């Protein structure tokens, strides 16, 4: 984000909001309200920058990539782990399409943060207690992204910092309801760069996390080796990315775990951004150079 400061919608003259529409955002502090709707919650996620990634999400975001799993793997009795699932909206989409699965784990490194409020100002904090987002009466600012912004909003941060903090889930209200009614669906905090503890899942889905937008190829390869070690023998890895290229549909690849790496099962017509890295992975060492 080039300018970690935005105007808040419905707080400015209509003509200004229309003119600067790209820089006018809805108030993300709605996630602290118990009556927030699922759609408003999803919209707010695009403002949450935590752990070096952005929790952008929406419903019905991966229909074609999800079909790769449904069409090529019998998921009856299997355990699926959704790593980097953001607010769980796309997990909910996939759960609704699956039949007979034994378990579905909605996983992310950040499933909960905290917040505090003083007057019209609300601050969201990461698990380490660092302020990541400030909403005021007219502005929205990201002090964790810019030292200049952090200095400018310093007085507001100090004032709100004296107030008690409360936890808030980063799971969509619809997902929270699903967890309450379906014991097969659970959550886990997990870092994609670490091995999943036993018992190993049969399928791991990773969507819009292992992107060159966030990580270099060496780090992506390191995560892929951890994913290889996290899968049960013969398990499957589903990689998904929503490209920023105009007109590009969601891309996906389904890969089977073999002893030394991954084998291709199926891909969407447009190959995932890291498809070559997945197939070129040497699970025992560094990535192999993909053949031309």
pLDDT at position 203 is 98
176 and 102 co-located in one domain: yes
Cα–Cα distance between 5 and 164 in angstroms, integer? 25
Which domain CATH number covers 73? 3.40.50.150
| Residue 213: DSSP 8-state | T
91-95, 116-120, 192-196, 285-289: least confidently modelled range: 285-289
Question: Omega before 172 cis (within 30°)?
Answer: no
Which segments within 208-250 are labelled E, that is strand?
236-241
Does 78 share its domain with 190?
Answer: yes
**Do 145 and 199 fall into the same domain?**
no
Q: What is the pLDDT of residues 41-50, one digit of tens each?
A: 999 998 998 8
Residues 193 and 266 in one domain: yes
What's the pLDDT band for 286 if we cut at 50, 70, 90? very low
How far, CA to CA in Å, does 88 sit from each of 36, 81, 171?
16, 12, 6
3-state secondary structure 132-151: EEEECCCEEECCCCCHHHHH
- Residues of the chain above pLDDT 90, percent: 84
Do 131 and 97 share a structural domain? no
Same domain for 193 and 69: yes
Phi/psi class of residue 175: alpha, beta or left (left: φ > 0; alpha: ψ in -120 to 50)? alpha
**pLDDT band (50, 70, 90) for residue 3:** confident
Q: What is the pLDDT averaged over residues 191-208?
A: 96
Residue pLDDT, tens place only, 161-186: 999 999 999 999 999 999 999 999 99
Predicted local confidence at residue 244, as pLDDT: 80
Query: According to the model, what pLDDT value does residue 282 have?
Result: 84
Note whether residue 48 is domain-resident: no
Inside any domain, residue 96: yes
- Domain assignment of residue 40, yes or no: no
Confidence of residue 284 (pLDDT cuts 50, 70, 90): low
| pLDDT exceeds cutoff 80 at 53 | no
Which residue is it, tokens 């499933």? 111
State residue 245's pLDDT score: 82
- For residue 222, being part of any structural domain is answered with yes
Residues 98 and 122 reside in one and the same domain? no
Question: Is 219 inside a domain boundary?
Answer: yes
Question: Do 102 and 189 sit in the same domain of this protein?
Answer: yes
Does any domain span residue 53? no
pLDDT-derived band at 77, boundaries 50, 70, 90: very high
In the predicted model, what is the mean pLDDT of residues 185-202? Answer: 96
Number of domains in the chain: 2
Based on the fold, state whether residues 180 and 233 are members of the same structural domain: yes
pLDDT band at 237 (very low <50, low <70, confident <90, very high): very high
Of 80, 40, 90, 55, the residue nearest 170 (C-alpha): 55
Q: Which two tokens stand for residue 209?
A: 């996390």
Residue given tokens 């886990």 in the structure block: 188
- Considering the domain architecture, whether residues 261 and 132 belong to the same structural domain is answered as no
State whether 89 and 149 are in the same domain: no
Give me the mean pLDDT over the 122-143 stretch.
95
Q: Which of 125, 120, 75 is nearest to 102 (CA)?
A: 75
* Percentage of the chain modeled with pLDDT above 70: 95
Instruction: Say yes or no: 231 and 187 in one domain.
Output: yes
Question: Does the pLDDT at position 291 exceed 50?
Answer: no
Q: Answer yes or no: is 20 within a domain.
A: yes
Alpha-carbon distance 29 to 224, whole Å? 34
Domain boundary among 147, 169, 191: 169
Identify the domain containing residue 25 by its residue range.
5-32+112-169
**In this model, does residue 115 exceed pLDDT 60?**
yes
Would you say residue 285 lies in a domain? no
What mean pLDDT value characterizes the chain? 92
Structure tokens at 135: 């909403």
């Amino acid at each position: 984000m080039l300018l970690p400061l935005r105007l808040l919608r419905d707080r400015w003259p209509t003509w200004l909001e229309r003119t600067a529409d790209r820089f006018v955002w809805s108030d993300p502090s709605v996630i602290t309200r118990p009556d927030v709707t699922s759609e408003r919650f999803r919209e707010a996620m695009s403002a949450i920058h935590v752990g070096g990634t952005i929790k952008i999400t929406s419903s019905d975001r991966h229909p074609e990539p999800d079909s790769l799993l449904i069409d090529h793997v019998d998921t009856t009795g299997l355990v699926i782990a959704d790593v980097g699932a953001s607010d769980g909206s796309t997990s909910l989409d996939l759960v609704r399409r699956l039949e007979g699965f034994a378990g579905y784990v909605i996983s992310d490194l950040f499933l909960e943060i905290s917040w505090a409020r003083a007057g019209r100002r609300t601050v969201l904090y990461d698990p380490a207690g660092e302020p990541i987002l400030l909403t005021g009466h007219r502005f929205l600012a990201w002090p964790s992204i810019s030292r200049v912004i952090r200095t400018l909003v310093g007085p507001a941060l100090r004032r709100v910092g004296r107030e008690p903090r409360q936890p808030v889930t980063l799971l969509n209200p619809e997902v929270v309801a699903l967890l309450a009614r379906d014991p097969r669906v659970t959550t886990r905090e997990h870092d994609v760069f670490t091995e999943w503890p036993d018992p190993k899942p049969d399928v791991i889905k990773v969507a819009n996390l292992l992107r060159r937008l966030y990580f270099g190829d060496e780090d992506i390869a390191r995560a892929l080796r951890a994913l290889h070690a996290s899968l049960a023998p013969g398990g499957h890895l589903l990689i998904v990315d929503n490209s920023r290229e105009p007109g590009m549909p969601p891309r996906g690849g389904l890969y089977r775990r073999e002893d030394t790496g991954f084998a291709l099962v199926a891909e969407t017509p447009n190959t995932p951004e890291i498809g070559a890295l997945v197939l070129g992975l040497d699970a025992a060492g560094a990535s192999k150079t993909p053949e031309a």
